[in-house]
Amino acid sequence: MTDVHNKETRSYNMSRIISENTKPEMIVRKYLHAKGLRYRLHTKELPGKPDIYFPKYKTAVEIRGCFWHGHENCKYFVIPKTRQDWWTEKISKTKGRDYKNEMLLLSLGIRTIVVWECALKNDKIQETLESLFNEITGENV
């Protein structure tokens, strides 16, 4: 199956995909800030530049897109029909990098909490955010 876009259009579309300050990330940040938690964003000194870092709790939060990070058994993660080998390798490398960064953070005494994009959909969002707050602080909401 061939791509429905020409090379220039596909390249433009791919260049518009952002890696920081995504909608799921902003939802999590806004909620946690409203709950009184203060954090650092994309801390360059830490392995993998975690999306959110809470120095007080020695906790990093990664908000991961289901497609880009290969969320297993998720309806939002489907390998494209074109260039399947390339996509499989790309997503596999991303998963490997995620694991390596989690292990490096753990070796520094920093725990990592992963929030998947699908857990921030309308029907699950409140439960996910409350659970995340609990996990970070050890408190009940």
What are the tens digits of pLDDT across the range 51-81? 999 999 999 999 999 988 999 999 988 888 8
Q: What is the pLDDT of residues 8-42, one digit of tens each?
A: 776 666 665 656 668 899 999 999 999 999 999 99
Helix ranges, 52-110 (H): 84-107
Average pLDDT, the chain: 88
Q: What is the number of alpha carbons within 13 Å of residue 74 lying toward its C-beta?
A: 18
- Residue pointed to by tokens 């993998």: 48
pTM of the model: 0.83
Domains of the chain: 20-137 (3.40.960.10)
Separation between Cα atoms, residue 141 and residue 51, nearest integer Å: 22
Q: What is the pLDDT of residues 74-104, one digit of tens each?
A: 998 888 888 889 889 999 999 999 999 999 9
